[in-house]
Amino acid sequence: MVKRIGVLSGGGDCPGINAVIHAVVKRAILHYGLEVIGILDGFEGLVEGKWRDLHYNDVSGIMPLGGTILGASNRANPFHYPRYDEQGKVYFQDMSAKVVENYRRLNLDALIAIGGDGTFSVAEKLLAQGLQIVGVPKTIDNDLSSTDMTFGFDSAVKIVTEAIDALHTTAQSHHRVMVIEVMGRYAGWIALYGGIAGGGDVILIPEIPFHLDKVAEFILRRRQAGKRFSIVVVAEGAHPVGQEMVVQKIVAESHDQIRLGGIGYVVAQGIEERTGLEARTVILGHLQRGGSPTAFDRILATRFGAKAVDLVVEGKFGYFPALRGNELVSTSITEAVHSLKTVPLHSPLLDIARSLGTYFGD
């Protein structure tokens, strides 16, 4: 019988995590009479022994807050845990036994792990070591398979849309090409949704390698048709045909060590050189993960959080709540971590955008 559960947020933060924590704590306490422990800084808390009790009053008023009241870490893979020698050089150790030990020491009957593919792959290995884990899918990238949508995505798309709206006025005044680079890692969801909602003229996504020459021709044709400015939305993982993605830096301690970024500058320079038009780049960066979650994300996060507690009580460990259409289902963590959900080349939304004149650079 489940009496005491832990909750943690792993990986990068995103708007809506606090709404999950809010739902988990209230559902657990009010509906099931459980005790809840908040693990601090993702799995780091279970390695280093950092946690706190979470009572009903601790989660009052946290729904609109961005980030996570528990802290997060995307460098805390217990199976490949970073340590630093006297010279400050990083080396790695398997600290999973410590996680199991602390889980037992806390008398946890289950753990709810809010995270994306990195957190879920750690969860998968800890399940094999006997921990009882239920996941909650989170990422602005919307690239987690088995769920139609993750919370955080809608909030990121809103920020991208507002940024494009703002860029329109300055692009218009100066008759410029504005290139806006957005996040999303290896998937183009944020660029596609944000680009369509903001009325981007060109949208470049990782799933469709682009030709800079053709993008430049498209922009020149717009100019000839009397459009004196253009907005190009480029996903950080987008890349020209036959070329690699642009890597900004390597983070050795992280689950996915690659940090993408910089393709926006390549695209703007390429357009300037080919068209003679002035181009500027805006890299939206972590603004896309900041601020208050949208109403849609708050509702989705609340549904996920409440359902995760139900799954714990039902003993459905190794599962997480997922959205299919508008229904919540439970689906296996293992299935989700082994494939990435990218934009299908014949996604209906992509086809609609093409039919409205949006160019994808192919």
Binding site residues, ligand F6P, CB under 6 A = 12, 74, 139-141, 183-185, 236, 259-260, 289
Residues 325 and 228: their CA atoms lie apart, in Å, by: 40
Give the pair of three-digit tokens for residue 109: 């009957």
Residues 124 and 117: their CA atoms lie apart, in Å, by: 10
Question: Which residue is at the shortest CB distance from ligand F6P?
Answer: 183
Burial string for 155-174 (b: 16+ CB within 10 Å, else e) reads bbbbbbbebbeebbeebeee
Choose between 231 and 260: whose C-beta lies nearer to ligand F6P. Answer: 260
The residue from 41, 117, 141, 154 that is catalytic is: 141
Give least dist CB 28 to ligand F6P, A. Answer: 27
Choose between 6 and 137: whose C-beta lies nearer to ligand F6P. Answer: 137
Choose between 207 and 236: whose C-beta lies nearer to ligand F6P. Answer: 236
Choose between 37 and 140: whose C-beta lies nearer to ligand F6P. Answer: 140
Instruction: Annotate the chain with three-state secondary structure.
Output: CCCEEEEEECCCCCCCHHHHHHHHHHHHHHHHCCEEEEECCCHHHHHHCCEEEECHHHHCCCCCCCCCCCCCCCCCCHHHEEEECCCCCEEEECCHHHHHHHHHHCCCCEEEEEECHHHHHHHHHHHHCCCCEEEEEECCCCCECCCCCCECHHHHHHHHHHHHHHHHHHHHHHCCEEEEEECCCCCCHHHHHHHHHHCCCEEECCCCCECHHHHHHHHHHHHHCCCCCEEEEEECCCCECCCCCCEEEECCCCCCCEEECCHHHHHHHHHHHHHCCCEEEEECHHHHHCCCCCHHHHHHHHHHHHHHHHHHHHCCCCEEEEEECCEEEEEEHHHHHCCECCCCCCCHHHHHHHHCCCECCC
Give least dist CB 310 to ligand F6P, A. Answer: 27
297 is catalytic: no
Choose between 119 and 230: whose C-beta lies nearer to ligand F6P. Answer: 119
Choose between 77 and 139: whose C-beta lies nearer to ligand F6P. Answer: 139
Give least dist CB 187 to ligand F6P, A. Answer: 9
Give least dist CB 319 to ligand F6P, A. Answer: 22
Give least dist CB 206 to ligand F6P, A. Answer: 11
What is the maximal distance between C-alpha atoms in the chain? 71
Give least dist CB 315 to ligand F6P, A. Answer: 30
Choose between 15 and 45: whose C-beta lies nearer to ligand F6P. Answer: 15
Give least dist CB 146 to ligand F6P, A. Answer: 17
Catalytic positions, written as ranges: 141
